[in-house]
């Protein structure tokens, strides 16, 4: 069994136990409704034909249409796609969206394909799954190594399959010209920053003046830094794959963003007191730590050196189970990824609604709705955590339990169980 599926089943079991439920509910939710596996033939530039494999896992649709991204990666597996579809069920449920969970993947290294080969792969894959997706059934979105252009190809291919019918809501994360929202670009980083702000207000009364270190200065880290500093935090450390920068007085985030955009490496920022490695950044004496790069960076090897009182997961799975248990026992609050980085799927819902309405929503309204929804989701999760466990378990367990409870409630109401 893959690590991803082990993790998904581990947290489902934790949630079931937290809710005082049994094996029946666990097994009802453990398996996906269906998994579609398709072959994707692509004629390469040299005239040969390569056959790739793709999957779409539809885990549960008790709350609404399946919803989740499609990733292109050479190591993606059927088990990983199943695990991610399960996680999307809980993420959408926790975000209080009318969606179930789905996920897709194609085993391919997109960097090895020419643009025309990548387009052919995308169109052939979506044509192969076209009968099991749709605006009211399953709504894909971008994920690892897919983007708005990929969604544009999906949308166009779906229209061809459906005799030219223009169903903009079949995918989200589209280019603005095809019904997407620019807010989607900032949404995950914005939501991560907002989660940090709301948690800081719960813990200290305000975010103002709190010191922050952000590991990972990609899309999520950049927008998290931008909004946190606008809301009064002091960003003292930033890092990317080239290393990190540190200044106890506070970094000039606008300058760091410009350096990253123009020179691609945040370490070329001039004027920082000293450089830090990604590992050193995690152990800095700061109030808030925002790991926004890769998984498992906070682990058994460094967990005893973590000094932050609040960790907000911008990345997926940056804190291992053992580290989370240890740090939570020490009183560290960890806002889990399924809550902290939910801004993306919330904005996908706003885009989908806007598509169904014919394009009435303006960008400022989309951002306002994202803010209101993220705030509501955060507060509901925090209150459930405090009420049901008195904060004696990691917030992640309470978040999973709340999400699972909502799905089970919907299944009962529909007469499925």
Q: Are 242 and 259 in contact (CB under 8 A)?
A: no
Q: Whole-angstrom Cα distance, residue 110 to residue 121?
A: 10
User: How confident is the model over 242-293, as pLDDT tens digits?
Assistant: 899 999 999 999 999 999 999 999 999 988 877 788 889 999 999 999 999 9
- Tell me, what's the pLDDT at 331? 95
pLDDT for position 2: 85
- List pLDDT tens digits, range 57-105: 999 999 999 999 999 999 999 999 999 999 999 999 999 999 999 999 9
Q: Is 103 a catalytic residue?
A: yes
When the pLDDT of each residue in the chain is averaged and rounded to a whole number, the result is: 95
C-alpha dihedral, 261 to 263 to 267 to 272, nearest 10°: -80
For residue 388, what pLDDT is reported?
93
Question: Residues 93-138: pLDDT tens digits?
Answer: 999 999 999 999 999 999 999 999 999 999 999 999 999 999 999 9
Per-residue model confidence (pLDDT) at position 139: 98
Encoded tokens for 362: 């303006």
Can you give the pTM of this predicted structure? 0.94
Catalytic residue among 14, 67, 91, 103: 103
Domains and CATH numbers, the chain: 32-168 (3.40.50.10860), 185-337 (3.40.50.720)
Condensed to tens digits (0 to 9), the pLDDT of residues 197-213 reads 999 999 999 999 999 99
């Amino acid at each position: 069994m893959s690590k991803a599926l082990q993790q998904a089943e581990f947290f489902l079991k934790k949630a079931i136990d937290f809710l005082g439920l049994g094996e029946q509910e666990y097994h009802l939710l453990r398996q996906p409704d269906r998994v579609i596996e398709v072959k994707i033939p692509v004629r390469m530039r040299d005239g040969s034909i390569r056959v790739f494999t793709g999957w779409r896992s539809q885990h549960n649709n008790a709350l609404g249409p399946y919803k989740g991204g499609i990733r292109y990666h050479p190591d993606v597996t059927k088990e990983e796609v199943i695990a991610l579809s399960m996680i999307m069920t809980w993420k959408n449920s926790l975000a209080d969206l009318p969606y179930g969970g789905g996920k897709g993947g194609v085993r391919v290294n997109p960097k090895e394909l020419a643009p025309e080969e990548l387009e052919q792969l995308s169109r052939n894959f979506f044509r192969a799954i076209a009968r099991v997706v749709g605006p009211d059934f399953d709504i894909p979105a971008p994920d690892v190594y897919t983007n708005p252009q990929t969604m544009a190809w999906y949308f166009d291919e779906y229209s061809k399959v459906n005799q030219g019918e223009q169903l903009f809501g079949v995918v989200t994360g589209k280019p603005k010209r095809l019904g997407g929202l620019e807010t989607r670009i900032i949404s995950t980083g914005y939501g991560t920053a907002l989660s940090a702000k709301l948690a800081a207000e719960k813990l200290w009364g305000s975010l103002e003046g709190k010191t922050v270190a952000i590991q990972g200065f990609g899309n999520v880290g950049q927008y998290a830094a931008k909004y946190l500093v606008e809301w009064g935090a002091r960003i003292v450390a930033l890092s990317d794959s080239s290393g990190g920068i540190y200044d106890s007085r506070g970094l000039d985030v606008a300058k760091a963003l410009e350096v990253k955009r123009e020179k691609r490496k945040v370490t070329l920022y001039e004027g920082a007191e000293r450089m830090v490695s990604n590992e050193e950044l995690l152990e800095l004496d700061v109030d808030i730590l925002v790991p926004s790069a890769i998984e498992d960076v906070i682990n058994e090897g460094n967990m005893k050196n973590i000094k932050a009182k609040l960790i907000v997961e911008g990345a997926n799975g940056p804190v291992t189970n053992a580290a989370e248990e240890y740090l939570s026992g020490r009183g560290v609050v960890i806002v889990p990824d399924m809550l902290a980085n939910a801004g993306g799927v919330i904005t996908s819902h706003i885009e989908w609604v806007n598509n169904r309405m014919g394009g009435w929503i303006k960008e400022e309204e989309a951002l306002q709705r994202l803010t209101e929804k993220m705030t509501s989701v955060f507060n509901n999760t925090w209150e459930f955590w405090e009420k049901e466990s008195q904060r004696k378990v990691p917030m992640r367990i309470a978040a999973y339990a709340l999400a699972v409870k909502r799905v089970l409630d919907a299944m009962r109401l529909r007469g499925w169980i």
